Amino acid sequence: MTKAIEGVIFCGYYDMQGEVLRKFRTGWYEELFMGVVKRICVVLQLLLFLCPGAVVQAQEKIAAYPPFMSGYISIKIFDNQSHFVGRILPEKRYWAPIDQIPTFLQNALVAIEDSRFYEHGGIDLRGVTRALVKDVVKGRMAEGGSTITQQLIKNKYFSGEKTLQRKFKEGILALEYERKYSKKQILEMYFNEVYFGNGAWGIVQAARLYFDKYPQELTEAECALLAGVPKSPVHYNPLGKPASIRDRKNIVLRRMKELKMITPAREKQLRARPIAVVQHGEASYYVAHIRNKLIERYGAEIIEQGGLDVITAMDLNLQRLAERFLREGIKRISSDLQGALLSLDPNTGDVLAVAGGTDFKLSNYNRAFFAKRQPGSAIKPLIYAAALEKGITAGSIWNDDPVAYPKNEHETWMPRNYGNEHAGNLPLRQALAYSNNIITVKLLEAIGVSDFVRFAGTLGLPLRSPNDLSLALGTDEVTLSDLMLAYTPLANGGIRPEARTIIRIYEKYRSNWTETPPVVNAVLPPAIAYVTTSMLKDVLSYGTAKSLLGFSKERPAAGKTGTTDDYRDAWFIGYTPQLITGVWAGYDKPKPMGKGFTGGAICAPIWGRFMRSALKDQPAADFPQPDSVISVQIDPTTGDLAAPGCPQRREEFFVMGTQPIQYCPNHGPAPDLAPVPTATATDAPPPNGSASPSPQ
């Protein structure tokens, strides 16, 4: 029976629409009325043949979701200066009974969507006729004439596709709903099922998202605005274009006036009344990370319970800079490339800014905290610090002649420098500045792989054990956050802080503050931290990040580039006494990018732009030299104390007790007096003829 009705209706509609459109376009206007009559007849046919056995009865309860929680308060996120950042809202859908939905909102919806809602039985013949006229005038299905009941059916059971088959089924179910439920029940279901844009399904989510209120707390102006949204949630939602939103709200109010639901004076008042919409929050990657931390602390149910004010370690100004400079720097290379930027206070571990990707809407994966990638040469400062702990000095001379290591019974492994270049003998300081691979492998061999893994562990960097000498080239995967935290002892004199994102939480339901103090541990002698940092200063002045020479002249800074052998990952981690920042770039699905995709070329410029803006209001400060560090003049070609005849000399830093005691034997006799260590030293450029820096 149902199929037969569908066939009659389809044939009748197509015949009517085609004939009326043809005759309307040729001037036969009298046929328009006949078209209207035919369309009404189609509806009457539907009513005539409708029988209880032809449809599926709607048996579900009215409330499809739990009732909303009384007294709920959104979780609000603030930065370290108590500036509002954003909210964490419930994810589940909740049900609002009709007595909790303002009468004004009910009237506004009826006025704009279905003014004869209380008069028809689910299908409005007048509305259908009116829609037909508009269809004919515009030459297409411009308006469907759907009632609120039909819209409810469409939202619950059908997609948005406009087909006659769907309209037929929609009409049958609408009639069935009108027999089964009261008008108030249908309105209640509608308000809890309709889409209000930006992921808000139902009036409970809409009131919370746009106004941070319960439905019953909405003002009349807010009700008028929301009533206009279902027509086109993309265009009319409260976060859309202000002009479109205002015009739509005014249309709703005008229609309410025409139906005498409000007076002209009231319409005028509501038109002029401003509406404060809660804007989208900022710092999406940071807020998402806070959400994870709250779940770790309180359990998953905290998101639905709410009631927290969270003071984070974030600096909102730095957060905005991080997102901007990362996005601009990465997209300058490729629209598909990804990246991450993380900035910490090296003394407390406070996470001041994090951009876990270039666009949170496209990908909410936080690469700063969770993406494990090979660090390449960015691992090298830790190896050099471990060497200092073993008594090796920054002035010691190392050779980068090729060397082969057994890989297995039949193969050997030969580490190579960038471009297969060889510099011969280099002071360890310059080997780090130039990111010399061969010397770093030899250095790791001298330290011992197992000892280095242990050393890295004390800095908080977990590495696989056992491992091999390829670890010197950064083959073990790490996260940006873990590697940066391992760098922090170099920046602050040997203290490793834990990363802190939450400073304090106010639990509103309990009126209770919970503090999260910084957690710091001494992991490295201050002298080793200082000498390593002095070596890393050279990376910016003449090494692989020499593009940052201008920055290093403005304020003391140290850092290291990182590039994997196959150019899949690029890094730069650098710091001043006040701030440590790391940048990573690469593809989520790793692929080689070719020469030129290096930490020095890609990440260092992003770091420089961010740091210059982040520190512009802070005075330049140098790293304090501990008493356990001395500096003496050496001959950089031998590593010995500089004799009077040495043509090259420089000030070098040493951990007390490791400084050279012999004078250079190559340039004349030693002086009569023992050298007097100096308290300070200034970085000098490498001697003429030194190796060129690798771009790693």
Mean pLDDT of the 579-598 span: 94
CATH code for position 439: 3.40.710.10
- 600 with 644, same domain: the answer is no
> Does 113 qualify as catalytic in the annotation?
yes
Catalytic residue among 31, 74, 113, 631: 113
Shared domain for 572 and 642, answered yes or no, is no
Residue among 146, 343, 377, 631 flagged as catalytic: 377
> Per-residue pLDDT for 584 more than 50?
yes
630 and 600 both lie in a single domain: no
Residue 66 backbone phi and psi in degrees, to 5: -65, 150
Is the domain of 635 the same as that of 573?
no
Q: Identify whether 590 is part of a domain.
A: yes
Are both 528 and 590 inside the same structural domain? yes
In-domain check, residue 427: yes
Tell which of 614, 640, 668 closes a domain.
614
Whether 492 is in a domain gets the answer yes
Q: Which residue range forms the structural domain that includes residue 632?
A: 626-679
Q: Could you tell me if 576 and 672 lie in one domain?
A: no
Q: Are residues 445 and 529 in the same domain?
A: yes
Tokens of 182: 């009261």
Q: Same domain for 636 and 598?
A: no
One domain for residues 510 and 636: no
For residue 507, the model assigns a pLDDT of 96
When the pLDDT of each residue in the chain is averaged and rounded to a whole number, the result is 87
Q: What percent of the chain has pLDDT over 70?
A: 84
Domain count, the chain: 3
- Please write the tens of the pLDDT for every residue from 543-565: 999 999 999 999 999 999 999 98
632 and 523 part of one domain: no
Per the model's pLDDT, the better-predicted residue between 129 and 569 turns out to be 569
Q: What is the pLDDT of residue 133?
A: 60
Q: From its phi and psi, is residue 200 left (phi > 0), alpha (psi between -120 and 50) or beta?
A: beta
Confidence class of residue 683 from pLDDT cuts 50, 70 and 90?
very low
Residue 550's contacts (CB-CB under 8 Å, 6 or more residues apart) are: none
Is the per-residue pLDDT at 156 higher than 80?
Answer: yes
**What is the residue type of 435?**
S
* Residue 82 known to be catalytic: no
Q: What is the DSSP track for 579-625?
A: -EEEEEEE-SS-----TT--IIIIIHHHHHHHHHHHTTTS---PPPP
Position 157 pLDDT exceeds 90: no
pLDDT digits (tens, 9 = 90+) for 236-250: 999 999 999 999 999
Percent above pLDDT 90 for the chain: 74
What digits encode the pLDDT tens for the residues 606-618? 999 999 999 999 9
Residue 194's pLDDT is 95
Residue 537 and residue 593 in one domain? yes
Burial of 159 (0-12, 13-18, 19+ CB in 10 A): exposed
Cβ burial, residue 680 (10 Å; 0-12/13-18/19+): exposed
Least confident of 19-28, 430-439, 553-562, 603-612: 19-28
Which tens digits make up the pLDDT trace of 311-349? 999 999 999 999 999 999 999 999 999 999 999 999 999
Query: What average pLDDT does the segment 508-514 reach?
Result: 95
> What's the confidence (pLDDT) of residue 134?
59
- pLDDT of 97 > 60? The answer is yes
d(CA 537, CA 533): 6
| Domain identity same for 520 and 553 | yes
pLDDT digits (tens, 9 = 90+) for 610-646: 999 999 999 999 999 999 999 999 999 999 999 999 9
Distance CA 579, CA 588 (A): 27
